[in-house]
Structure 1
C-alpha cells in the first residue's frame, strides 16, 4: 500500500505562500523619536524630584521654626482602687497621639526617650507640659518622615544618574 503524494507534486497549481507576520517598525528600526520621548520622561521625573526636594526643605524649615523638637514618647498610667480604697498604679503604656485628645487628670504621665548610647531615660511630665511635649514629639516625627522621603528621592536621583553615566559610557564605545 502506498501513500499518494499527488497533490504535493502537482506542478499546475500555484505554490502556497506562507504569510510572515510583519512586526512594527518601532520594534525593528532605530526610533529616535521613542528615544527622545524616553529622555523627556526621565527629565520630567528628575525635575519633579528636584521640586519635591525643594518642598521638603521648605517644610523642614517651617517645622523647625514652629517650636522645639523632641525625639521621645509619652507614656501614661492610670490608678485603680483596691478593696480598701488604696490607689494602685497600672503599668505605663505609650500614649498614642489620638489618646491625647482627652487627657486624664487622674493619670500619671512621663516623657521617655533614648540617650546617645541607646539607654532609656524617663522623667515625669506635668499636666501643663503634655500639650507642648506632644507637639514637640509630633514635629520630630514630621521631620523624620521628611528625612525618610528625602533619602528615598535622593536614591532615585542617584540611580538615574548612575544609569545615565553607564549608558553614556556604553554609547561612547
Structure 2
C-alpha cells in the first residue's frame, strides 16, 4: 500500500514506495509518517491498558461476589509416635495449597493471620472448614494479584501522561 503517487509525463500514476528510515537516522530526518505511526502505537498501548483496567475491575467484582475473602494462611502439623507409642506433635508448617487428596485427617490445622497492628493471631481449623477456608484465602490472593496488576497498569499510564505533558511543553517552545 502506498500513500503517495508519482506523476510521470506519460500520465500514468505509479505508486511511490515509502522508505521508513532506520532508527540511526531519526535525528537527521523529519518524518511525519514515522511520528504519526509512533503516536498510533502509543494510542493502542494506552487504550489496551484502559481495557485491561476495565477487565480488572470486572474480575475484582466477580471474586468478591464468589464468596468470603480471608487474609490469612493455613498451617498444619502432624503427629509422630515416640518409642512409648505416644503421639508427639511436630511443629506447624505453612500449607501452600490445599489438595483434598492429600489432606491428612490425623493432622492438626490452624488458621493464621495478622491483625491491624501486625500481631499474629491463630485459631484452630476443623477438617470441615479446610475447603472453605482455603478457598477464602485463595480469593484474597486473587484480589491481591489483581490490585498489584492494576497499580502497575496505572503507573504505566501515569508515566506516559507525564512524558506526553513534558513533550507537549517542549514542542510548544
Pairwise same-fold verdict (TM > 0.5): yes
After TM superposition, the structure 1 = structure 2 runs for residues 47-126 of structure 1, keeping only pairs within 5 Å, are 47-97=47-97, 101-126=101-126
User: C-alpha displacement at 1:29, in angstroms?
Assistant: 2.4
CA RMSD of aligned residues (A): 1.4
User: C-alpha displacement at 1:96, in angstroms?
Assistant: 1.1
The 1:70/1:95 distance shift into structure 2, 3 A limit, reads: same
Q: Distance in 2 between matches of 1:101 and 1:63?
A: 25
The 1:112/1:100 distance shift into structure 2, 3 A limit, reads: farther
Count of aligned positions: 150
Q: If the length of structure 2 is used for normalisation, what is the TM-score?
A: 0.83
Q: If the length of structure 1 is used for normalisation, what is the TM-score?
A: 0.83
Q: Distance in 1 between matches of 2:161 and 2:47?
A: 13
Q: What whole-Å deviation, never above 9, does each CA across 1:28-65 have from its counterpart, x for those lacking one?
A: 32111000000000000000000000000000000000
Q: Structure 2, unaligned stretches of length 5 or more?
A: 1-20
Q: Distance in 2 between matches of 1:43 and 1:99?
A: 44
The 1:49/1:66 distance shift into structure 2, 3 A limit, reads: same
Q: What whole-Å deviation, never above 9, does each CA across 1:132-162 have from its counterpart, x for those lacking one?
A: 0000000000000000000000000000000
Q: Distance in 2 between matches of 1:162 and 1:97?
A: 42
User: C-alpha displacement at 1:100, in angstroms?
Assistant: 5.0
Larger Rg: 1
2:117 counterpart of 1:127: no
Q: Structure 1, unaligned stretches of length 5 or more?
A: 1-23
User: Which residue matches 1:166?
Assistant: 166
Range that drifts further, 92-101 or 106-115: 92-101
Structure possessing the higher relative contact order (Cα contacts under 8 Å, 6 or more residues apart): 1
The structure with the largest helix share of the pair is 1
